[in-house]
Structure 1
Amino acid sequence: MRIINFSPKSARKDEQVTIGGEGLLGTKIVYFNNASTREISIKSDYIIHAKVPHGASTGKIRVVGNNEQEQATSETIITIRD
């Protein structure tokens, strides 16, 4: 699993974020800083969409697969706006 990029770089709660990477097909949970969402749409092994959950704050995005060993964290942060 690996996050290469995401868009937009700034989002509000309940907005959709597109995450691009590799090995994303098995994604079960997406974290925006420390707030998690299971509202995920997997488009391919390279692209997923995730809804920014309530409680999200500015920070890194982390995707988790079937277990805690399958995960990846973004190198850059996403800004969560009110």
Structure 2
Amino acid sequence: MKTITATDAQASLSKLIEQVNKDNKIIEIINETDRVVIMSREHYEGLQETLYLLSQSGFKSEKEADQGYTDSFEHVLVSLSSSHFPRT
């Protein structure tokens, strides 16, 4: 990630906006005490969508399965029968 000072960013803000949108890169802007990043709106919206999807329980389950975190069929049946469905 490219890092520039706030003074340099202020002097070339229009150019930075064009660069960020063209290259789809993130630029860090710093001053004496703080740090921020500038990114394209498209990149930001993509990150927001990813965060939303990762917060959905079904998507988490798929991700966990892709990473090898699975339960046996028998374990799932026992869990379902003991905690989710009343016995008749």
Q: TM-score, normalised by structure 2?
A: 0.23
Q: TM-score, normalised by structure 1?
A: 0.24
The structure with the larger Rg is 2
Structure with larger RCO (C-alpha < 8 A, sep 6+): 1
Structure with the higher fraction of residues in strand conformation: 1
